[in-house]
Every structure is written in C-alpha cells, then in structure tokens.
C-alpha cells in the first residue's frame, strides 16, 4: 500500500525521489490525509463541479476524490475505507496503471475511460448478498447507458455490460472483512467511454466496444459519472430496503445470458456447457447441464456459445 501511495504522489508530481525515504516513515493515517488532499483537485477531464452540480444523491459521491493516475481506484478505495472515508465515497481517476479485473486479470484503463470505485459501508450485509450488490451495480450501469441514448444495453452474467454483443463495462466487487464481518464493500466500475478500441491490446479489440463508438460521438464523462452515481443511489436504496426481488427483476429485463448455451468456467473445476435458465435469489446463474442436471453457478464466468 505504501508503494501505491508513493507512486500516486509521484504521478501527481507531488513528490520527488529525494523525499521518498522521508515519506516512507510517515504514519499511515497521515498518508490517508495526503491522498485525500491530492484527490481534492480537478484534472483535465474530470470536473468535480460538473459531477456534483445538482447531484441528486444523499450519500453516493458526497465525498469525492479525483486523480490523474492511480494504479487502481479499488486499491485507493480500500485504503481510504480503512482510514475513515464516508459511506458512498467515490474515487475517480483519469487513468489506471495497474487496474484489476475479475479472476486476477488486469484491466486496461487508458485516458478516455471512466474508472471509478465506490466505498459502501452497509449496516448489515452477509456474505451471501455480495453477488447481489454486483448485480445491482450492473443494473445501475445499464440504466445510465439508456439515459445517454444507448439502445438495448444488456448484462452478461454476472456483470459484464454489453452493447450489440460487445463488452463496454465491467464491475469488480471486493469486500473488506474483519473477523468475518463485512466492514466495507468496494465496487469498482470501468466503462469504456471515449476510448478508441485500437488503443486496447489485440485480444480485447474484437469483443470490446465503447460509448463513443456506439453513439457516433464522444460522451461527456462527467455527465455519465453523475448519472451513474444517481442510479447507484437509487438501486442501493432498494438494496438497503431489502428489495432484492425488484433488483433481480430489473436484471432479468436486461439479461444477455438467459436462454443461451454457454460454457461455464467455475474456479477450480473443469469447464462445461450448459443452457442458462435464469438467475437465483442470491444472484447465482441457474443452468441446465447437458445431462439434464440443474446447477447454480455462484462464482465464475460464462462464455456465450449460441
């Protein structure tokens, strides 16, 4: 973590190599204050005022930190969560140099994308509800995309947001636990907004799209962020009130997976083909295997075959 912070300060040109030794001896709480101070700035593309102006939320985005470049907004969020950030705190960065995707994969985050993390400190959340929080975030993303004029955005289980069969957004949820109790949930959202897919590595280009490509014009990132924060607050409130069925109903409306044949890849087991029947109350994918047995897939990945 210390290295992450030092790198962040270096990128922000707030630290010279000579002071690294000095800074290494700073108390960890002071680091949090330094990060928060750096994050009060604006960057060339991310504008605090535009995001916060008339923002219709009670919690989400009320505490907001903006960076030019961090390794991963989720890592910064985890650190701030442990150092007294508010519920609903948002971390934004123009670029990420070491961003994380699901299954330990890396996530390419050049300039022009929306890279953000939310710190949630729910009153009570048991572990089984975490997948549902990710599902709910997927719904917030598709609703945001609809608001900016994207037609027919879909969600591929569990949380890849797709447009015309190509991925435009991914979500990485991480829980911070203490003695098996969830203290914070960090929800990282990446949206390929104004990126040229040619900037991405070859293996990603075919299956990826961007908002600008789909709309035929660049989007105002600040506007998209603001809309997303508002949608996240709406669905978050529904979640807190126990409206799990309503969230699942919304998710099913946007499902790209239901009714398709997929290859299921679960951690530590052999991939298998199955037909997607639906989504369970906990947010697991319910599939029928080729031999007719039913299975709930709680964690994993699905590759659509037809």
- Binding of residue 300 to ligand BTN (CB under 6 A): no
Token pair 């030794």 is at which residue?
21
Segment interacting with ligand BTN, rule: CB under 6 A, options 55-63, 133-141, 164-172, 280-288? 164-172
**Shortest approach of ligand BTN to residue 17 CB, angstroms?**
26
Q: Which of 170, 236, 283, 300 binds ligand BTN (CB under 6 A)?
A: 170
Least distance (Å) from ligand BTN to the CB of residue 292?
Answer: 31
Of 165, 98, 129, 161, which is closest to residue 306 (Cα–Cα)? 165
Of 115, 157, 251, 254, which one interacts with ligand BTN (CB under 6 A)?
115
- Closest CB to ligand BTN among residues 200, 246: 200
CA dihedral 53, 55, 58, 64 (to 10 degrees): -70
CA atoms lying within 13 Å on the CB side of residue 139? 24
Please report, as residue ranges, which positions from 207 to 266 form the binding site for ligand BTN (by CB under 6 A): none
Is the distance from CB of 125 to CB of 133 less than 8 angstroms?
yes
Using CB atoms within 10 A of its CB, is residue 22 exposed (0-12), middle (13-18) or buried (19+)? exposed
107 binds ligand BTN (CB under 6 A): yes
190 binds ligand BTN (CB under 6 A): yes
Q: From CA 214, how far away is CA 168, in angstroms rounded? A: 10
User: Which residue number has the CB closest to ligand BTN?
Assistant: 170
Q: Applying CB under 6 A, which part among 115-123, 225-233, 246-254, 266-274 lies near ligand BTN? A: 115-123
Does 96 help bind ligand BTN (rule: CB under 6 A)? yes
Rounded Cα gap, residues 101 and 118, in angstroms: 15
CB contact at 8 A, 35 and 81: no
| Residue 59 C-alpha from the chain's centroid | 17
Given candidates 99, 119, 136, 142, which one binds ligand BTN under the rule CB under 6 A? 99
Residues in touch with ligand BTN (CB under 6 A): 72-74, 96, 99-102, 105, 107, 109, 115-117, 160, 170-172, 188-190
């Amino acid at each position: 973590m210390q290295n992450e912070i030092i790198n962040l300060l270096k990128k922000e040109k707030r630290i010279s190599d000579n002071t690294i030794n000095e800074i290494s001896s700073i108390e960890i709480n002071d680091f949090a204050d330094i990060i928060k101070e750096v994050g009060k700035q604006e960057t060339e593309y991310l504008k605090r005022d535009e995001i916060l102006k008339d923002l219709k939320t009670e919690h989400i985005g009320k505490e907001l930190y903006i960076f030019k470049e961090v390794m991963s907004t989720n890592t910064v969020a985890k650190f701030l969560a442990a150092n007294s950030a508010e519920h609903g705190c948002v971390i934004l960065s123009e670029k990420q140099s070491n961003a994380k995707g699901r299954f330990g994969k890396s996530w390419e985050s050049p300039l022009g994308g929306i890279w953000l993390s939310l710190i949630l400190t729910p009153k009570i959340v048991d572990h089984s509800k975490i997948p549902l929080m990710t599902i709910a975030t997927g719904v917030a993303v598709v609703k945001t995309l609809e608001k900016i004029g994207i037609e027919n955005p879909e969600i591929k289980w569990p949380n890849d947001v797709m447009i015309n069969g190509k991925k435009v957004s991914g979500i990485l949820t991480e829980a911070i636990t203490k003695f098996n109790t969830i203290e914070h949930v960090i929800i990282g959202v990446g949206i390929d907004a104004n990126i040229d897919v040619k900037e991405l590595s070859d293996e990603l280009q075919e299956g990826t799209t961007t908002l600008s490509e789909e709309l035929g014009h660049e989007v105002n990132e600040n506007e998209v962020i603001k809309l997303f924060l508002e949608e996240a607050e709406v669905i978050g409130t529904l979640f807190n009130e126990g409206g799990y069925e309503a969230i699942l109903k919304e998710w099913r409306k946007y499902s790209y997976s239901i009714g398709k044949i997929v290859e299921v890849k679960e951690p530590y087991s052999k991939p298998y083909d199955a037909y997607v029947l639906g989504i369970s109350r906990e947010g697991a994918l319910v599939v029928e295997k080729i031999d007719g047995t039913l299975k709930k897939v709680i964690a994993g990945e699905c590759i659509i075959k037809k």
